[in-house]
Amino acid sequence: MKKIIDFLKTHPLVSGVIGVAFITLSVRFMGPRMNGNLEGGVFRLAFALSGMVFLYLISGEKTFEKCERTTGYVCKVLLPTLLFPLFTFFPSILTHVQGGVPLRSDWLLQLLFVAFLCLCVGLMEEVMARGLINDSLVYQFRNTKKIFLIVAVVDIVVFGVIHMIGSKIDTPAAFIMAVMKALSSGAGGLCYLFLYWKTRNLWGVAIMHGVYDFIATSPQVLFQTAETTTITANYVSSDAETASIRIIGLGADLLINAAIALWIWKKHMKDVDFETMRETW
Q: Residue 14 carries which side chain, given as an amino acid letter?
A: V
Q: Which of the residue ranges 19-23, 61-65, 144-148, 192-196 would you say has the lowest mean pLDDT?
A: 61-65
Residue 193 to residue 39: CA distance in whole angstroms: 28
Please name the helix (run of DSSP H) or strand (run of DSSP E) that holds residue 280, with its range, or none: helix 274-280
Whole-number CA gyration radius for the chain: 19
Q: What is the pLDDT of residues 75-117, one digit of tens each?
A: 999 999 999 999 999 998 999 888 888 998 889 999 999 999 9
Q: Minimum mean pLDDT among 58-62, 63-67, 152-156, 220-224: which range?
A: 63-67
pLDDT of residue 275: 94
Q: 223: which strand partners?
A: 103
**Statement: residue 172 has pLDDT above 90:** no
Considering only residues 34 and 238, tell me which one the structure prediction assigns the higher pLDDT. 34
Q: Give CA angle at 51 (45, 54), nearest 5°.
A: 155
Given a cut of 80, whether residue 184 has pLDDT beyond it is yes
Q: 72-103 in b/e burial notation, b at 16+ Cβ within 10 A?
A: eebbebbeebbebbeeebeebeeebeeeeeee
Q: How far, rounded to the nearest angstrom, does the alpha carbon of residue 52 sit from its chain's CA centroid?
A: 15
Average pLDDT over residues 25-49: 89
**Rounded to the nearest 5°, which phi and psi values hold at 268?**
-115, -5
pLDDT at 254 over 80: yes
pTM of the model: 0.92
Q: Over pLDDT 70: what percentage of the chain?
A: 93
Residue 64 to residue 119: CA distance in whole angstroms: 18
Does residue 163 or residue 217 have the better pLDDT?
217
Mean pLDDT, range 110-130, rounded to an integer: 95
Could you tell me the pLDDT band of residue 62, with boundaries at 50, 70 and 90?
confident
Residues listed for the chain: 281
* Mean pLDDT estimate for the chain: 90
Helix (H, G, I), strand (E, B) or coil at 103: strand
pLDDT of residue 232 exceeding 70: no
Q: Which structural domain, as residue segments, surrounds residue 124?
A: 2-280
Average pLDDT over residues 175-193: 91
Contacts of residue 193, Cβ cutoff 8 Å, sequence gap at least 6: 130, 134, 151, 152, 155
How many separate domains does the chain show? Answer: 1
Q: How far apart are CA 141 and CA 150, in angstroms?
A: 10
Give the residue, 170 or 253, on which the prediction is more confident. Answer: 253
pLDDT at 228: 58
> Is the model's pLDDT at 266 over the cut of 60?
yes
- Mean pLDDT of the region 1-12: 90
Confidence of residue 174 (pLDDT cuts 50, 70, 90): confident
CA atoms within 13 A on the CB side of 252: 13
Give residue 238's Cα distance to chain centre.
25
